[in-house]
Every structure is written in C-alpha cells, then in structure tokens.
Amino acid sequence: MIKPLSGYVLIEPLDDEELTASGLALPERAKEKPAKGKVIKCGEKYTNFSSTFQTPFVDCPVKDNDVVVFHRWSGQDVKDGQKEYKLVKFSDLMGVYE
C-alpha cells in the first residue's frame, strides 16, 4: 500500500461515466467537471512556512473513507498492483460528500 507523505491524500478515483441523451458514453477527456474519489489514506499535517497565521501547521482536511471532489487535472496517477490511485495535495481538494 502506498503511504502518502505530509500534505497529500491517496484517493481511489470513482467512475462517474456520463451518457449523452442518445446513450453514448463520454470519454474522460471530454468532461470538464471536477473528479470524485474515495480517500484511502491521508498524509500527516505539513508545515506551511509562508503562513501568516499563528500556527503554520495544516492538518488533513478529510479522513479515510470520505468521498471527496477534487480538481480533475490535479495530482499524480500511481499504481499499486492492479489498483490505480491518485496522490492529491490538500489544497486541490474542493469538497466532501456528507
């Protein structure tokens, strides 16, 4: 299993295949909307030295098994065996499904 370093989240992308009105599947590159995925593992907090806040530490904003929305073109694709994951920075996460 891949362990994300501080400031990163390991995400398992979820398929969100879309169909046109005529039933054709849109290819991934034709979509411009954000991507959705399940958080597998969250890295530790990281130190933001450029922070003007009292504490320069940034905690992971999500927890394991959360379903999140992130920028489609962000992160790095990685493979662990047959499974494909995405390593995404904390700052590229846009929301959490509740």
Select from 34, 43, 30 the least CA-distant residue to 14: 34
Going 38 to 40 to 44 to 46, the CA torsion angle's sign is negative
Summarised one tens digit per residue, pLDDT across range 18-67 is 555 666 666 655 555 678 999 999 999 888 777 566 667 888 999 999 99
27: Cα separation from own chain's centroid: 20
The per-residue pLDDT for 1 is 81
CA 88, CA 8: separation in Å to the nearest integer? 5
44 three-class SS: coil
* Domain 8-16+31-96 of CATH type 2.30.33.40: yes
- pTM attached to this predicted model: 0.77
The domain segmentation of the chain, as residue ranges, is: 8-16+31-96
